[in-house]
Amino acid sequence: MGLMDNKRGLVVGIANDHSYAYSIAESLCREGAECLFTHLPGEKMERRCRKAVDKLGLEDYWISPMDASSDEDLDRVFDAIGSEFDQLDFLVHSIAYADKDWLARGKFTATPREVFTQAMDISAYTYMAMADRAAPLMKDGGSMIAMSYLGAEKAVPGYNVMGVAKAALEAATRYLAMELGTRNIRVNTISGGPLRTMSAMAVAGFGDILGWVAEKAPLQRNITGAEVGDSAVYLLSDLSSGVTGQILHVDAGFSTIGL
Ligand SMILES: NC(=O)c1ccc[n+]([C@@H]2O[C@H](COP(=O)([O-])OP(=O)(O)OC[C@H]3O[C@@H](n4cnc5c(N)ncnc54)[C@H](O)[C@@H]3O)[C@@H](O)[C@H]2O)c1
């Protein structure tokens, strides 16, 4: 028996098999969940996402293109899920975007308005937009998670506008939890340690960040995608039935260190 038996959910954010969303889906599928998937529109994005999902060894799966910055795309995907399936139990939001030209040291103060707005829209607002559309499908209650990073709480060199967007994502987690709790829908966010993914490569000095964690974190190492995947199982399963509105740090303890 798996911890996610008889639970179906949408996993948003698999770009390839290095993505946090891939590790999360791997843990969820291992525990018996039925995962539905979306990828960014375009043949290349679809091919990359399918290649990763195929590695999960599923017999069959539901997959659709979705640009989360488009309300039309969000409506189309959640309407399709609502008409094809009777119930949704969980949602995984594992997406973020900021113009990488502005993720460099010394380039925060002059961040252009459109760079700020786009980072906020894709990295924070979309959690609310997806929650709004997923909640009516969670007829027997449900659980949602998003992915954040320490740069929401502390100034991390090179994270810049994305740190501001992650702070908004973490605040949104608490407001979503307060509103959706009345429908027995739990909303949490994982603050993950640094992991070599496509998006992470956009952060200037990412290698340094990995080095600091390995040197200073209580566990004296970086975390793996699988460790975040297993924590996602905890938050999306009934194991965490009393937990909502929380930011769970899965970072080898790095966020607890003062020096
Ligand atoms: N890698 C890290 O070090 C790290 C650490 C903590 C948190 N995170 C967070 O984890 C999440 C996943 O990132 P990742 O590191 O796995 O990188 P990734 O590049 O593998 O995944 C990012 C995903 O965002 C998707 N995306 C971007 N814009 C989108 C849009 N408009 N509509 C729909 N999808 C869109 C991409 O297609 C991709 O699948 C992000 O929220 C990221 O900020 C990453």
Supply the DSSP symbol for 10. E
Q: Is the pLDDT at 250 greater than 80, yes or no?
A: yes
Q: What residue's CA is closest to ligand 1, atom 25?
A: 95
pLDDT of residue 259: 76
In the predicted model, what is the mean pLDDT of residues 114-120?
Answer: 98
- Annotated active-site residue 20? The verdict is no
In the predicted model, what is the mean pLDDT of residues 72-89?
Answer: 98
Measure the CA–CA gap between 120 and 163, rounded to whole angstroms. 10
| Nearest atom (ligand 1) to Cα of 196 | 1
Backbone angles phi, psi at 139, to 5 degrees: -70, -30
Q: Is residue 130 within 8 Å of 91, Cβ to Cβ?
A: yes
Q: Is the pLDDT at 204 greater than 90, yes or no?
A: no
Amino acid at 79: D
pLDDT of residue 110: 96
Q: What residue's CA is closest to ligand 1, atom 24?
A: 95
Measure the CA–CA gap between 124 and 126, rounded to whole angstroms. 6
pLDDT level of residue 202 (50, 70, 90 thresholds): confident
Measure the CA–CA gap between 255 and 250, rounded to whole angstroms. 9
- Annotated active-site residue 127? The verdict is no
Active-site residue identified among 20, 97, 127, 149: 149
Active-site residue identified among 20, 22, 127, 159: 159
Domain locations in the chain? 8-253
**Ligand 1 test: best mutation among 17, 26, 69, 95, most atoms within 8 Å of CB?**
95
SS3 state at 2: coil
What tokens were used for 91?
């949602």
Helices (H) and strands (E) in the chain, counts: 8, 7
Q: Is 124 in the pocket of ligand 1 (CB under 6 A)?
A: no
Q: Which CATH architecture has domain 8-253?
A: 3-Layer(aba) Sandwich (3.40)
Q: Smallest Cα–Cα separation from 185: which of 120, 117, 113, 133?
A: 133
**How confident is the model over 135-192, as pLDDT tens digits?**
999 999 999 999 999 999 999 999 999 999 999 999 999 999 999 999 999 999 999 9
